[in-house]
Structure 1
Amino acid sequence: MKKMMVVLFFVLLLCSRYQFVDMSQYESKTKSIEVKGAIQAPGVYEVDAHASVEDILKKAQGCLDNADTSSLNLSLDLPDESVLVIPEIKETALISINSASEEELDSLPGVGPAIAKRIVAYRMEKPFQSLEEIKEVKGIGDAMYAKIQNMICL
């Protein structure tokens, strides 16, 4: 019983020394976010502490026409002093299967030097009349055609 009284005494002593403090008065009401990339007005913006990416983009006057927002989470709450980079859509030139060099054809996914040579040899005999005709080249099937069809032209 004495031990219990001693423990109780120390618990009361410790509890009486500490006071709870409301930390909300010390929380920042705003945050700074740097916005750069394909944006109308790049810069550092002071926004509400819980502003989403969408709110920040509105403050920066929106994205440019060539902005790639497909990977952005518009509801994300970024931490203070973050950097938000808006990427640009990269336009790639199409490769002509009727006039491209072997090196250009070799840059296509799945097409190596051997298949590039076969494409050039095929078109020397008969130029391609349609994109699907490239599947007649040995080594190019439906799967490879699906990978390259948006990267080639006649």
Structure 2
Amino acid sequence: MKKILLFLICLVVFLFTFFNRYTFVSLDLKKPSTKEVEIKGEVNHPGIYTVKWDASIQDVIEQADGLTDLANTDALALNRIVEENEVIVIGKQEENYISINTASLEQLQTLPGIGPSLASRIIEYRQERSFQSIEEIKNVKGIGDKLFEKIKEKIVL
């Protein structure tokens, strides 16, 4: 009986020291300090970048050496914190179309081959009657088939 009691005491002491010696550590309690984010589209150097954990879209754009001239950030919240392994796509600006029924003199002059005098004639024509189709612009004196082919992809009603 003494041997059994001595054995049990030794076993309890052994188990007590064994389990108290080792403490489990959870590694997921420590936050990483960086994360990887991919950026593509209208940036100067698209690719995968390692950024600080609290980096925003603006920070990633700066690491990619900024935006190109064609970049459109209207749909992006530049101050939003990026997620780990997120892919950011910077879109391209849509081409601006010129409305031949509402454009100003200056806007009409941005069309290829349209100078101040042709722009004035377009405005005079539309004041008499609005354009019903883009082909109708050929009724303006000085705008023929050749000039129409240059501007038809850039104009709308």
TM-score for both structures, normalised by structure 1: 0.49
The structure with the largest alpha-carbon Rg is 2
TM-score for both structures, normalised by structure 2: 0.48
